[in-house]
Amino acid sequence: MRLLTLAFVLFFGTIYAQDDSSDSSDKFDKKLEKLSSQKGMITTYFGENSELFFEIPENLLNKDLLMVTRLRQLPANYSAYRNAGSKTSEQMIHFQKKGNRIDMIQVSTTNIADDDDPILISVQQNNFNPILASFKIEKEANNSFIIDVSKLYNDDSPSFNIIGERQKKEYKISGVDKSRSRIDEVKSFPKNTEIIHTLTYKVNKPPRGNSANTFTFQINHSIIELPEDLMPVRYTDPRVGWFSLKKYNYSSDKLKSDSYTIAKRWRLEPKDKKAYANGELVEPVKPIVYYLDPATPTKWIPYFIKGIEDWNKAFNKIGFKNAIIAKVAPTKEEDPDFSPEDVRYSTVRYVASTTRNAVGPSVADPRTGEIIESDIIWYHNHLRSYRNRYLLETGAANPKARTLDTPEEEIGEMMRRVISHEIGHALGLPHNMKASSAYPVDSLRSGKFTQKMGIAASIMDYARYNYVAQPGDENIRFIRKLGEYDMYTIDWGYRYFDGKTPEEIKAILKAMVDGKSMQKIYMFGGRNNDPDSQTENIGDDPIKASQYGLSNLKIVTQNLEEWTTPKGENYDELEELYGELLSVYRRYIYHVSSMIGGVHETLLNKGQDGTPYKVVSEEEQLQALAFLKENVWTTQNWLMPEELVSKFSSRGTLNRVVGINTSLLKRLLSTSKLNAMLNSNATLSGNGLNVMKLMKTLSKDIMAIKNPDLAERQLQAAFVNHLIDLSEDKNLAAEAKAYVAKHKKDLMKDLERKQKNNNDILSAHFLYLHEVLRKDAEQ
């Protein structure tokens, strides 16, 4: 079977026709001489006026190349889901010669068929390759063809997908302003060519803070030569998390095209296959090497190296020694040809930016899934996020966290684990949010357990800190580390099988997963509606874990000023930390709220003991509602002490806290959740909480509060108004609407009785709510 160059049209191609007039050869040569040239896979000629020519050697024609487009810099407040380093397109291309033109063809490896299968003809005919761009050959010499690609990179080619359709509509973005767009930099290397350019767009409805009515992006395009020697594929197993590529096999024996996925992996092969087969530790033919950015502060280099090489523990278990190596990048004096843009080198880049993030992208061969290179990006201000959360989530039980001058070794340990997480992505591992629920909550209070096992079964979860451990617990590990799931998934993805076909390897690995995947420490899961697959949580019981977390947070609140604000300093840091403290509170209560209407998901195959989808039991959901009654619906005065809030806010924070509560209420009574509960209770295994009982419980817990204070009255008003909104929602199921109608009617009676109150404020409050419902009933 071979991979075919078949169309998989993601974007409309644009043909860029060049001016047919031609200068004499001498004149053209003189023009090129004035441009800066770089030899490489594609020799480039680049001028200050955004002129760019490619010299395409004949032996590069019809070769498999990968073109990757990423955002290098982008406007502020543009999108929550795109940041520097985000990929906007990735497509395999060919340069093809057609007469006096070179066409850039988009090629697909998604659809395949056997060479001797007659269906091959139909697949080819029904998947025609689109032309992304077409260029006149300006000069032909020395078995190469020179083309002018200036317009391609000075304009907005649809194939680059720089601006998404949603952003175009939201901001009313017009076309590119060519007077403010340019090619910035071009570099060519033996295996890749890099083009960096700036595009400026006119914006008719800019986001807040953008007074220029302009979006300017800097974009990085990589054209990469793919390996001629194809790496054997590895078929994925949905019970083991792995980044993958989807394929369609039209020669399948099944009565349809057979879809399957292959894993994205580095090519890791032992130097001595015989020694490897005998169980000896063997170095790989080509280890995975990461070079550290020379801009990395010297004091953090050891932690970055440890974070990268921590994965050797997992590789050692499957027979590889020194499989992954970290090195400091050579200086210009040591190696003038070294460049982080060279696809032969993978790097960890340290970016001086206010962005609080780190990312771990990689580039993979779309034919086989082989990872070719990756660049981990660490943004400097990410340190601030970790410092703040370390104090807020562990300060009650962890004396080292009770300061904004966090000890260097503690910050270094955090950085080490963040880099390990991002390297995990670059190795092919997606997030595994189920790993944080593998350990019993009370085990997280054990020094012996946490020092050995960490705080979650995988570093690929968002389980950053141990917020469960209580004051007095000894020898606790507070920061995450690699877990048993990480060892297991590396075994699945990188164990070498000499002489085995992909189908034989698939059977061997399936047996391994069959034997382990039902154990909690080896489970994989995304978020979905599963309370065991949440972000930022730890432990197998969200209620107990959040109770411990809130207990600690109350201690932190009492000491926040002392731990953050030395004498003589202003209260800016205190205000920032308090804002993040509210976010921590929100996370803890949302962890519990996810149990309501939740569905436990277990990825398994027939024959394994278990049920893939099972609703959270009614008993557990009622316990979650009881937690919310105690810790959310009644005013949490500890969360906004006046002696603290008065230091930095003239308006107080009541509305912020009420906003958290009302948002949670609307989430619990959202149309999507109510409809999903009706459906899952009717069709899935388990005895869950029904919608009527949910509404009754919330109504009682919120509306029956005696002598409600201001925050509780605002919550009651939000409850009444939300019921009205639900009754008018066309998407709400009829069954749920019936429950809403009954609750509105019952509430009117109850509010009429409550109006007879000696307290004028409460009497007016209940009268107002009654009138809101009465007017709604009359419409």
User: Could you report the per-residue pLDDT of 460-471, keeping only the tens digit for each?
Assistant: 999 999 999 999
526 pLDDT higher than 70: yes
Q: Which amino acid, one-letter code, is at 80?
A: A
Strand partners, 261: 246
| CA gap 15, 7 in Å, rounded | 17
Q: Which amino acid, one-letter code, is at 8?
A: F
How does pLDDT run across 367-424, given as a tens digit for each residue?
Answer: 999 999 998 887 766 778 889 999 999 999 999 999 999 999 999 999 999 999 999 9
Task: Give the CA distances from residue 701 to residues 69, 496, 670, 698, 746, in Å, rounded to whole numbers and listed in that order.
Answer: 52, 58, 18, 5, 15
Report all structural domains of the chain as residue ranges with CATH numbers, in order of start: 2-225 (no CATH), 273-524 (3.40.390), 655-779 (no CATH)
Beta-carbon contacts of 175 under 8 Å, excluding residues fewer than 6 positions away, are 156, 201, 202
578 or 116: which leads in pLDDT: 578
E strand or H helix that includes residue 563:
helix 542-564
**Residue 622 confidence (pLDDT):** 98
Q: Mean per-residue pLDDT for 702-713?
A: 95
Strand partners, 220: 70, 196
Task: Give the CA distances from residue 118 to residues 109, 123, 256, 367, in Å, rounded to whole numbers and listed in that order.
Answer: 19, 9, 15, 22
Nearest one of 263, 270, 239 to 495, comparing CA atoms: 270
pLDDT classification of 118: cutoffs 50, 70, 90: very low
1 pLDDT higher than 70: no
**Residue 154 confidence (pLDDT):** 86
| CA gap 470, 441 in Å, rounded | 12
| 603: Cα separation from own chain's centroid | 21
Residues of the chain with pLDDT > 90, as a percent, come to: 71
Q: Mean per-residue pLDDT for 722-749?
A: 95
Q: Mean per-residue pLDDT for 732-751?
A: 94
Helix, coil or strand: residue 170: helix
Q: Mean per-residue pLDDT for 260-273?
A: 96
Q: Mean per-residue pLDDT for 707-717?
A: 96
23 pLDDT higher than 70: no
The β-bridge relationship of strands 87-98 and 101-107 is antiparallel
**Residue 651 confidence (pLDDT):** 84
Rg (CA), the chain: 30
Q: Dihedral (C-alpha) 158, 161, 165, 169: value to the nearest 10 degrees?
A: -80
69 pLDDT higher than 50: yes
Please say whether the beta carbons of 133 and 11 come within 8 A. no
Q: Mean per-residue pLDDT for 104-132?
A: 61
Question: Which DSSP category does 648 fall into?
Answer: T
How does pLDDT run across 276-308, given as a tens digit for each residue?
Answer: 999 999 999 999 999 998 888 899 999 999 999
How does pLDDT run across 313-332, given as a tens digit for each residue?
Answer: 999 999 999 999 999 998 88
pLDDT classification of 80: cutoffs 50, 70, 90: low
257 pLDDT higher than 90: no
**Residue 352 confidence (pLDDT):** 64
46-50: long-range contacts at Cβ-Cβ below 8 A with a sequence spacing of 24 or more?
Answer: 46/183, 46/186, 50/150, 50/153, 50/154, 50/182, 50/183, 50/197
Calculate the average pLDDT of the chain: 89
How does pLDDT run across 605-642, given as a tens digit for each residue?
Answer: 998 988 999 999 999 999 999 999 999 999 999 999 99
**Residue 142 confidence (pLDDT):** 85
| CA gap 95, 103 in Å, rounded | 6
342 or 58: which leads in pLDDT: 58
Task: Work out the burial of residue 726: count CB atoms within 10 Å of its CB; fewer than 13 is exposed, 13-18 middle, 19 or more buried.
Answer: buried
Q: Mean per-residue pLDDT for 522-542?
A: 93
**Residue 253 confidence (pLDDT):** 54
**Residue 254 confidence (pLDDT):** 54
| CA gap 522, 539 in Å, rounded | 15
**Residue 128 confidence (pLDDT):** 60
Which string of DSSP letters, residue by residue, matches 262-286? EE-B----BS-HHHHHTT--B-BSS
| 771: Cα separation from own chain's centroid | 46
**Residue 357 confidence (pLDDT):** 67
**Residue 74 confidence (pLDDT):** 80
Q: Mean per-residue pLDDT for 736-764?
A: 92
**Residue 465 confidence (pLDDT):** 97
| Backbone phi and psi for residue 614, each to the nearest 5 degrees, phi listed first | -145, 130
How does pLDDT run across 148-192, given as a tens digit for each residue?
Answer: 999 998 887 777 888 878 888 888 988 888 889 999 999 999 999
